[in-house]
Amino acid sequence: MKKNSERILLAHGSGGKLMQELIQESILPNFKSPILKKLNDSAVFSLGNKRIAYTTDSYVVNPIFFPGGDIGSLAVWGTVNDLAMVGAQPLYLTLSLIIEEGFLRSDLDRILFSIKRACRKADIEVVGGDLKVVEKGSADKIFINSSGVGMVSKGVNISACGARAGDKVIINGYMAEHGIAILNERENLKFSTKIKSDSAPLNGLVKDMLSVSRSVHTMRDPTRGGVAAVLNEIAQASNVGILVYEDKLPMTEVVKGACEMLGFDPLYVANEGKLLAFVSPEDAETVLESMRKNPYGRKSQIIGEVVRGSKRTVFLKTSIGGTRIIDMPSGEQLPRIC
């Protein structure tokens, strides 16, 4: 038992070490579900003869409007992507809005319009919701919880524990854009206006990938904690070592420059339209080719591989030829990023 005086910190919500600890020590011991234990992006279970994926997320991003998106599209696509990461076809969505008293009605309408467009783009339908208003100061503007349901096809088995030695690691494009876009907007940093969030629905891309291969073993979207956190989660869940090549990591010059100026390692910066896929080496090129034909995968790249030995560790081969360990993020880099 922890001391009664211990408090929740922002870092407990960062997607890094403290969050993992909180989940393992406080949350999981209360719920014995073997489905939950897998800690996949969506729970997958059978109902009758259908396999269903189900997921829930809350969105507290600050600011609520940012280049490349807003809290509405983020809530829809974030949930769509968590369904897609287990190979599910997203079908239905519910949304809960928690609004602070005094919030502009026109801003709410703008967010709802964005939700409508985002649903159309991802081919998902809002079928339910809830609305709460809290006193001024009890919440910041608006928070959104979204839950989604999808269907998993026969023969699709994608799980965080599925990566195996030899698998190639593929990313579908430029890293670190969402985190830097949010920071640029929030702190008024005046970096190039070309920095936009990569927020996007990935279900169409995943569908293309699965239509050419049944050897996509693992997928996850590197949101909070970035690529580094997800690689570590998968190295642990699959009990493997992962090697990543620094000179293969796709990044725009402007984001790279912003990260350098701010002292951020782009591997730890959030993405909202990226996925990491672990694919058997025989199928990796075919999957890569199919991804590059999709608008959300044009800059797809093999960035690394699963290596033998060195279990549960992620290594980076640097561009100057050295090797270093990529650890799980420890502190809080950017709160309220999504």
- Cα(237)–Cα(31) distance, rounded to whole angstroms? 19
Closer CB to Mg ion, 167 or 221, in the complex: 221
247-266-215-301 Cα dihedral, nearest 10 degrees: -40
Closer CB to Mg ion, 70 or 221, in the complex: 221
Q: How far is the CB of 220 from Mg ion (least distance, A)?
A: 6
Question: Where does this chain touch Mg ion (CB under 5 A) — which range of 58-66, 217-225, 232-240, 245-253?
Answer: 217-225
Structural element, H or E, at residue 165: none
Q: How far is the CB of 42 from Mg ion (least distance, A)?
A: 8
Q: Does the footprint of Mg ion cover residue 41 (CB under 5 A)?
A: yes
Specify the DSSP class assigned to residue 329: P
Question: Where does this chain touch Mg ion (CB under 5 A) — which range of 9-17, 39-47, 286-294, 319-327?
Answer: 39-47
Closer CB to Mg ion, 141 or 178, in the complex: 178
- Cα(193)–Cα(179) distance, rounded to whole angstroms? 14
Q: Does the footprint of Mg ion cover residue 82 (CB under 5 A)?
A: yes
Q: How far is the CB of 41 from Mg ion (least distance, A)?
A: 4
- State the number of CA atoms in the 13 A half-sphere of 106 facing the CB: 0
Q: How far is the CB of 57 from Mg ion (least distance, A)?
A: 8
The residues near 314 (Cβ < 8 Å, ≥ 6 apart) are: 228, 231, 232, 235, 241, 242, 243, 244, 325, 326, 327
Q: How far is the CB of 88 from Mg ion (least distance, A)?
A: 13
How many degrees, rounded to 5, is the angle at CA 17 between CA 235 and CA 79? 75
Question: Where does this chain touch Mg ion (CB under 5 A) — which range of 77-85, 172-180, 209-217, 279-287?
Answer: 77-85
Point out the residue whose Cβ comes nearest to Mg ion: 41
Q: Does the footprint of Mg ion cover residue 57 (CB under 5 A)?
A: no
Question: Where does this chain touch Mg ion (CB under 5 A) — which range of 21-29, 130-138, 154-162, 214-222?
Answer: 214-222
Give the pair of three-digit tokens for residue 277.
Answer: 């896929």
- Cα(261)–Cα(285) distance, rounded to whole angstroms? 35
Q: How far is the CB of 222 from Mg ion (least distance, A)?
A: 8
Q: Does the footprint of Mg ion cover residue 221 (CB under 5 A)?
A: yes
- Cα(256)–Cα(230) distance, rounded to whole angstroms? 20
Closer CB to Mg ion, 141 or 224, in the complex: 224
Q: How far is the CB of 194 from Mg ion (least distance, A)?
A: 26
- Cα(254)–Cα(256) distance, rounded to whole angstroms? 5
Q: Does the footprint of Mg ion cover residue 272 (CB under 5 A)?
A: no
Q: Which residues bind Mg ion (CB under 5 A)?
A: 41, 82, 221
